[in-house]
Structure 1
Amino acid sequence: MRILVTNDDGIYAEGIYKLASALEKLGEIWVVAPDRQRSATGHAITMHDPLRAEKVNFFDKSFSAWSINGTPTDCVKLAIEALMDKKPDIVFSGINKGPNLGTDVLYSGTVSAAIEAAILGVPAVAVSLADHENVSYDYAADFCASIVDKVLNNWLPPDTLLNINIPNCPREKLNGVKATTLGVRKYKNAFVERIDPRGQVYYWLGGEIIDHNNEEGTDIHSVQNNYISITPIHFDLTKFDLIEKLNDWNIELA
């Protein structure tokens, strides 16, 4: 089995090391990841600058490892279409430091890397540890290794990936695993206005998270209650039940 591992936290992040290390017992590991932090880049690709791929030593491992000066999506696209002599059997993106829940998946570089793999016809999993402080990736990495056979043997539909969020707590405090829908996550006071030494206004993006009406069955509710959340994401964004209504609008050429 050949497994491609990537992330958006950078090739030397602890999360990707722990993930690749847990997966290595299952087959041949390739690591292709950004050369630096590239969180919240969404599905951006590099079109107007050259992409550079540098072969690197990946910690204490002998994996084929490449550092890319691009986005997580670039990494997957370049790995599968240029660096690898054949497609991987599965792609894992992560382990992200911090959750990728609800509508935040639209911004996530972690999830977008998995989306790119699915676009290219490879089963893909995005995985995040749902915390930023005092994180421990060990159980999350082991969990990922434990589901590889299930993902491959049960077949994901085309254009579909799995988005997994794992609470940052000991195994004994987890209540189980739930298949979930995406919740809704918004931010209050998203921009902080400041003045630089020259008197010019600038802004930092931040804000307080507001989780709206996330009932049981959503990824947000599940993680908050110490369940591992697994959300199948299909990236055809068409609102099919509105097609017929749009036709009824009788929109004509101006």
Structure 2
Amino acid sequence: MNILIVNDDGILEPGIEVLAKQLAPLGNIYVVAPETHQSGQGHGITINEPLKVKDYGNLYGATKALSVLGKPADCTRIAVGLLGVDFDLCVSGVNSGLNVGSDVLYSGTVAAATEALILGIPAIAVSGPKKSLHMAEKSIYKLVKYLLENNVLGKEYILNINYPSSKFEMFLGVKWTTQGKHHHAARFNQVGENLYETVYELIDTNEDDNSDVTAFRTGYLSITPLFENRTHNDLLQILENQKQLNVTAIYDNIIE
């Protein structure tokens, strides 16, 4: 297999080293990651300036390692566009910090994996608290191998994997989960003239028992399938079936 390893924390962060070394028995490892920390960049891409690429040789034992002075999704694009490799799998992470609930909307880790999906490559995003990295180091090889052997990966979704809170020495089990809420509120502290520091505070939300957030809190490794297409087909059908929301009714009411 040809395996692309990406992240959003940066090419010299320990999480990506764990992935590169632990997944090496599965195939040829290629590492392409941001040169600098890019957490919270979401699925942004660079469109108005050139991307600077640095060759890191065989860093972490990889067949090839590159850094990109750009965003996480840029890294996936550079890997596919420059390396000339047919990748069988992309694994993004291990992110230093969880990516559950609404975090996935902001996560560069999830975005780098989603970009691989867009480019036709089965992908996994892996995250967990920094103090939980040992959990991934002990288990990620067997987990990815098991998922591959059982044909769980596809080209319609990514698998978003999160290790649990660091208050647990090791995860207690594995759960298939839904995306929870995990909302944050922003508070802005003025630290200078026209200069504000952002402080994020977790909002107390009711989480479903089968959500990734609940799994994180209760000591379970969560695996959540995430789709690129965010259309809610059932709701779409409900809206179309309502007489006052029928497309003809809407058209007649906005066109004179």
TM-score by length of 1: 0.89
Partner letter of residue 68 of structure 1? V
Give 1:139 deviation, angstroms: 2.8
**Residues in 1 aligned to 2:19 and 2:167: alpha-carbon distance in whole angstroms:** 17
Within 5 Å, give how 1:138-217 maps onto structure 2: 138-153=134-149, 154-169=151-166, 173-188=170-185, 190-196=186-192, 200-217=193-210
Partner letter of residue 159 of structure 2? L
Give 1:212 deviation, angstroms: 1.3
Does 1:63 pair with 2:63? yes
Give 1:60 deviation, angstroms: 5.3
Q: Which runs of 5+ in 1 are unaligned?
A: none
Which among 222, 226, 236 is matched to residue 229 of structure 1?
Answer: 222
- On the 8 A contact 2:187/2:199 being kept in 1, the answer is yes
Does 1:106 pair with 2:105? yes
Distance 1:168 1:193, change over 3 A: closer
**Residues in 2 aligned to 1:36 and 1:231: alpha-carbon distance in whole angstroms:** 28
- On the 8 A contact 1:7/1:94 being kept in 2, the answer is yes
Give 1:137 deviation, angstroms: 2.1
**Residues in 1 aligned to 2:161 and 2:5: alpha-carbon distance in whole angstroms:** 15
Give 1:92 deviation, angstroms: 0.5
TM-score by length of 2: 0.89
Give 1:62 deviation, angstroms: 5.0
Distance 1:141 1:121, change over 3 A: farther
Give 1:98 deviation, angstroms: 0.5
Q: Which moved more, 1:218-227 or 1:153-162?
A: 153-162
Deviations 1:47-97 (A, max 9, x none): 0010122111455535300010111101011111x2222221111100000
Alignment-derived partner of residue 5 in structure 2: 5
Distance 1:146 1:101, change over 3 A: same
* Identity in percent: 39
1:207 counterpart SS class: strand
Does 1:128 pair with 2:121? no
1:36 counterpart SS class: coil
Does 1:37 pair with 2:37? yes
**Residues in 2 aligned to 1:12 and 1:164: alpha-carbon distance in whole angstroms:** 21
- On the 8 A contact 1:191/1:203 being kept in 2, the answer is no
